[in-house]
Amino acid sequence: MNYNIWNAVAYEVTNLLIDFDSRWYNNRIVKLIRTHCFPDWVIWKTERTMERVDKQIEEIKEGWKRIDDEKYVKPIITEHKPDGSKAQELLGGTLQISAPWYKNGPNTLTITGPTPEESGQQK
């Protein structure tokens, strides 16, 4: 964007003056400075705001990436021995791919911990 940085700084200084003492708002010179510098200040302020927004977007994307990395863990690949058939003698045993949280199959969730008998509880 094309703007005069000194005009933007002058407008910011008038903002500081008015924040410090609101009587500066009625000063004729301050009003002239603000009128003259406002377009440059708007462009400068928009540029700075968009830079902060872009930084926040990158932080959000990194957060999403971390969440996705945690969600999609590496699968467990199990290689079984050949069962003696001709095809498996040539190609090798079967391969099984499963998620780490599934131990016995896609519809069975294995929960680790003591069984009711081991914990002294009855069924």
Residue 91 reports pLDDT greater than 60: yes
- Tokens of residue 107, six digits: 């519809």
Say what the pLDDT of residue 93 is: 79
Residue 81 reports pLDDT greater than 70: yes
Identify the CA nearest to 3 among candidates 46, 41, 58: 41
| Nearest 10 degrees: Cα torsion 44, 49, 50, 53 | 170
pTM of the complete model: 0.52
If one compares 8 and 103, the residue with the highest pLDDT of the two is: 8
Domain parsing of the chain, residue ranges: 5-71, 74-123
Report the distance separating Cα 99 and Cα 57, nearest Å.
Answer: 32
pLDDT band at 74 (very low <50, low <70, confident <90, very high): confident
pLDDT band at 35 (very low <50, low <70, confident <90, very high): very high
